[in-house]
Each structure stands twice: as structure tokens, then as C-alpha cells.
Amino acid sequence: MKDKLMLMIPGPTPVPESVLLAMAKHPIGHRSGEFSQVMAEVNQGLKWLHQTQGDVLSLTVSGTGAMEASIINFLSPGDRVLVGNNGKFGERWVEVCQAYGLEVDPVIAEWGQPLDPEQVAEKLAADREKRIKAVVITHSETSTGVINDLEAINRHVKAHGEALIIVDAVTSLGAVSVPVAQWGLDVVASGSQKGYMMPPGLGFVSVSERAWDAYKRATLPRFYLDLGLYRQDYAKNTTPFTPPVNLFFALQASLQLLQAEGLEGVFSRHERLMRATRAAVKALNLPLFAPDAAASPAITAVAPTTVGAEQVRSLVKKRFDIVLAGGQDHLSGKIFRIGHLGFVGDRDILAAVAALEATLQELGVADFNPGAGVAAASQVFSSLRS
């Protein structure tokens, strides 16, 4: 059936009607008072979402552009950086840092496992000369459904005293609490097509005062992504380069929805969706790829053994118009991923789990009890709702 598509991938995520319609408005001049009003509201909303009074800058980029801006504004060629790498987006951090001639000291974990904060602590403790300028990590690793222990890692960074903490929060912001001010997170990158409940095209970078100090010393070349230019104009509710006006309309609408729900409501909803999804997958006798203790509230990866991951994924799409994500790189064909971040509610999880059950049945998978997934998810919903 045309236009019946249901996105359960980790971005783009489903977009509410009011956000879609906001985007369809005629553009206005980006140097107008009207647009400055939009930006003023949006900038306040972004501070609220990031739990900070510091700067949260909006850039016309996708998430990778926000990641790159998070590196090149605060570091200089040859700077040593600890880079957490336990998935595709950890690898991307490594690639960005290497492209700019940084000395990358990797902290590695197997794909599907979280980074070990103790490894970071040891490397930082051994760095008596304070050569490490930044610790760079992915918060929610989209490729595996693992969430890294940002709070613990950040504590070690703070104990080091010199290094900045630079975080890819692309699939965590708006799904799980990222208390920028309380934890003292220096640079946090995110993108619009995830927890923000809007289409791709905007990237965000939150910058601490410590990071602005580092900015003054950083010598990597930059112009379009020079956050100092954005900061100057940010204070006047404008931008150095033409902003994507219609995406700002969308952001304004989506922030209004998020604020109406409240931070606690947004985070507890994602926690509930994650728990229900994982309970259902377990009840269907399918192996979860990430351990419970490191489960991302944004996305759940499933590594089926008695049926092909791509078989499941393509049949769920064909029969029920639900788009699940596949595995990336060496996980291609080995896992499928259920996105449950952004504009997703309990009903969507029930529908997806029911569709998954129906698909397993159609594929002749025998080692599960039909109905068990929906029952397990429902159990989570009723216990957490009560």
C-alpha cells in the first residue's frame, strides 16, 4: 500500500504531522526579525534539551558535519586524542580525527560491547605530561544498539583535568538524559533526524566555556564549520550562513512537542520502549546483540541464529511496510536493528513486535511461541505504566 511506510530505523525517524506541516510553510527571509524570533525560541529549546545554559549551535549539516565541527574547532594538528571505538560511529570518529592529522589513541571494544571506562581511566592516569587533549566517544552506538557509559568515562576525563570530553550524542540526545551542564560535557554533537523528531538536515553542537577556551588555541583550518562565527551570530539570534529556514520551522514545532511532553516524559518513554522491545525479543527466543547493562534506549539490535537477519527484515518490509535497519559493515546480514527513538509510542512497538512474530511464523521459524513477544512487551508496558 503506497505511503503506508513505518520507519523503525535509527534515522530518519517518524515525523509528527505538525512538524511536517511546519516545514511546508513558505520560507521567510533569514535576515528578518520574524526569523530571529524563530531562532530565539529554538535556541532556548535546544538549551532545554541539552540541560545547559551554554551555547548550542545549529549548523546546516548532517550528523557527521556536526562531528567534524566538534573536532576541528577545538584541536590542532598533531594533538593526541583518545577515541572510543566500538562500532561504526566510533570508527567514524577515528576517520575524522585522522583526516585532520590528529594522533589517535584508540580505546577499542568489540562491536556489541560497551567501552570499558577503566581502560580510558588507565590511559588518562598514565598521561602525566597531559598530552591527551580530548577524549572522543560515541554515546549511543547506532550500529550495535550499545550505549557507552558516558557518565563514568566523563568522570575520568574530569580527573585528568586537561582533556576535553567530546561526545557524539546523535542517537542519544532526545532519547536519554545528556545533562551537559551537570556533567560538564565540553562538546556534544547531534543531528535532527533522531530524537529531535524531524527530518535530516540540521546538526547541533553544544560547546562549554572550557571548549571555547580551547577554541582560541586550536589551529586546524576551518571556515564553513568555524563555530566562532556561529557563536557571534548566535547571540543575535541569527547565523553566519544561510540557515535551512524550513527545517528551523520544523525544529520549532518539534521542540514544542518535546517540551509539552517534558524531559522526564521523553526519557521514560524511550526507556519503556527499549525495555518492551528487549523483553519481546527475548520472549521470541531471539538473541539480543547488546547486553542489558549497555542497552541503548534508541535502538535494539537483534542477532537471529535460526533465521537470516535480512530474511526477517525484507519480509517485515514486504508484508507490513515496516522498515527495520540492517547490520552495517561486517554485521551486514548478521543483525537487524529496531529503531525506537523519536516520535515512537507504545503502540508502534506492539505493532512492530506483532509483525515480527507474524514474519517469523511465515518464515517457518519453529523455536518460539507465537504471541509471546506481544505478551512480554505488554507486560513491560503495564508494569511501567502502573
Binding mask 158-197 for a second copy (x = CB under 8 A): ---------------------------------x-x----
For residue 382, state whether it binds a second copy (rule: CB under 8 A).
Answer: no
For residue 222, state whether it binds a second copy (rule: CB under 8 A).
Answer: yes
For residue 379, state whether it binds a second copy (rule: CB under 8 A).
Answer: no
| Given 84, 90, 145, 201, the residue binding a second copy (CB under 8 A) | 201
| Given 45, 54, 63, 373, the residue binding a second copy (CB under 8 A) | 63
| Contact set for a second copy, span 293-332 (CB under 8 A) | 323, 325
Identify residue 208 by its one-letter amino acid code.
S
- Reading the block at residue 16, the C-alpha cell is 509528527
For residue 257, state whether it binds a second copy (rule: CB under 8 A).
Answer: no
Whether residue 327 contacts residue 333, with contact meaning beta carbons closer than 8 Å, is answered with: yes
Looking at the chain, the number of H-run helices and the number of E-run strands are 14, 13
Q: How far is the CB of 53 from a second copy (least distance, A)?
A: 27
Query: Which range touches a second copy (CB under 8 A), out of 235-243, 269-277, 344-352, 373-381?
Result: 235-243
For residue 78, state whether it binds a second copy (rule: CB under 8 A).
Answer: no
Give me the long-range contacts of 255-258 (CB less than 8 A, separation at least 24): 255/41, 255/42, 255/45, 255/46, 255/48, 255/49, 255/196, 256/18, 256/45, 257/16, 257/18, 257/19, 257/197, 258/45, 258/49, 258/174, 258/196, 258/197
How many chain residues touch a second copy (CB under 8 A)? 54
Q: How far is the CB of 309 from a second copy (least distance, A)?
A: 15
d(Cα 7, Cα 179) in Å, to the nearest integer? 28
Reference 356, options 327, 385, 386, 315; nearest CA is 315
How do strand 187-191 and strand 164-168 relate by DSSP bridges? parallel
DSSP for 232-247, written as a single string: HHHTTT--SS---HHH
Is the Cβ of residue 62 or residue 285 nearer to a second copy in the bound state?
Answer: 62
Q: Which residues are registered as beta bridge partners of 288? A: 302
| Given 127, 149, 226, 310, the residue binding a second copy (CB under 8 A) | 226
| Given 37, 78, 99, 318, the residue binding a second copy (CB under 8 A) | 99
For residue 54, state whether it binds a second copy (rule: CB under 8 A).
Answer: no
CA distances from 17 to 5, 188, 193, 202, 254 (A): 15, 28, 15, 19, 10
Peptide bond into 221 cis (omega under 30): no
Whether residue 337 contacts residue 321, with contact meaning beta carbons closer than 8 Å, is answered with: no
Query: Which range touches a second copy (CB under 8 A), out of 23-31, 45-53, 256-264, 370-378?
Result: 23-31
- Reading the block at residue 242, the C-alpha cell is 544561510
For residue 246, state whether it binds a second copy (rule: CB under 8 A).
Answer: yes
For residue 236, state whether it binds a second copy (rule: CB under 8 A).
Answer: no
Q: Which residues bind a second copy (CB under 8 A)?
A: 3, 5, 7, 9, 11-12, 14-15, 20-21, 23-30, 32, 60-65, 67-68, 95-96, 99-101, 191, 193, 199-201, 220-226, 240-247, 323, 325
